[in-house]
Amino acid sequence: MTSYRISDEKAAFRRLWQQVFGDEEAWIDRFFASIPGLVSWGAFESGALVSAFHLIPCRLMGQAQKLRGYYLYAAATDPAFRSRGLMASLLQKAAKACQEEDFDFLCLFPAEESLYAYYARSGFRVILQSARYEQMDPALVRRFPDAAAWKRGREASFSGQYISFDEQVYRFLLQEDPNAAVFPDTGADGCFFLPLPDAEKAGGVYVVQKGGMLLPLSERIQTNTKPIYLGLTME
């Protein structure tokens, strides 16, 4: 019989993570230790973890009220247990639990094109955008000095609705990759930011592309208005 539940069995989650993604144990442990409010969901068969994902707290900004949600990360199923509907059931259980706790949405960024259709079957919709730089004038590239400045600079540049993460998430990403917090500078008031949608101000060319997906959990979230900018992924 399959059990679907929140768990803090870090060793079991680490084993499955390494089996599916191949990341180093030390990196996985830093992830668990660094992300505030992390919630880990798992499907267990005879007590063994066979499918899992992790929920990172976030908020939807740009509306009348700040809406609470989770960014779904590192969804994985043991190869021996795939094609049994375990992940779909786990998503359903987690979404219901989040809804009962008055959360407004779940969001994610599919790792592969084929996964868009997979998550759509669970009710997720493509409504989050991301941006990829194709060209950039090196003279305009600047580095944010720390996680607080990175979060502040990025989010100050967004117009409309966007997903906001805790500063500690930025700090973790910056520790793992010091080049993560590099963006163009317009020279206006020393403000570093990602200018959307005006690429010319950045002195470069970028493409706004299909990004993440969102699952509404409450009527408070207005998913039929403007696209929501994700702004940060943990790819």
Q: What confidence category does residue 220 fall into, taking pLDDT thresholds of 50, 70 and 90?
A: confident
* Half-sphere exposure of residue 84: CA atoms within 13 angstroms, side-chain side: 15
* 3-class DSSP assignment, residue 165: strand
How is residue 97 written in tokens? 């639990």
Are residues 62 and 160 in contact, defined by beta-carbon separation less than 8 angstroms?
yes
Rounded to an integer, the average pLDDT of 166-176 is 90
Rounded to an integer, the average pLDDT of 149-166 is 81
Residue 151: the pLDDT is 86
d(CA 18, CA 61): 34
How is residue 132 written in tokens? 């990829």
Rounded to an integer, the average pLDDT of 102-125 is 93
User: What element of type H or E holds 136?
Assistant: none
Query: If you average pLDDT over every residue of the chain, what do you get?
Result: 82
| Superfamily, domain 2-103 | Gcn5-related N-acetyltransferase (GNAT) (3.40.630.30)
Residue 37: the pLDDT is 97
pTM of the model: 0.85
Residue 189: the pLDDT is 33
Q: Where are the domains of the chain?
A: 2-103, 128-229
Residue 111: the pLDDT is 84
pLDDT exceeding 90 applies to what percent of the chain?
52
| Per-residue pLDDT tens over the stretch 50-91 | 999 999 999 998 777 789 999 999 999 999 999 999 999 999
| Per-residue pLDDT tens over the stretch 205-215 | 455 556 788 99
User: Would you say residue 190 has pLDDT above 70?
Assistant: no
Among 89-93, 113-117, 198-202, 204-208, the least confident range: 198-202
- CA-angle at 4, arms to 32 and 102, nearest 5°: 75
Phi-psi region at 153: left, alpha or beta (left = phi > 0; alpha = psi -120 to 50):
alpha
Are residues 217 and 99 in contact, defined by beta-carbon separation less than 8 angstroms?
yes
Higher pLDDT, 208 or 4: 4
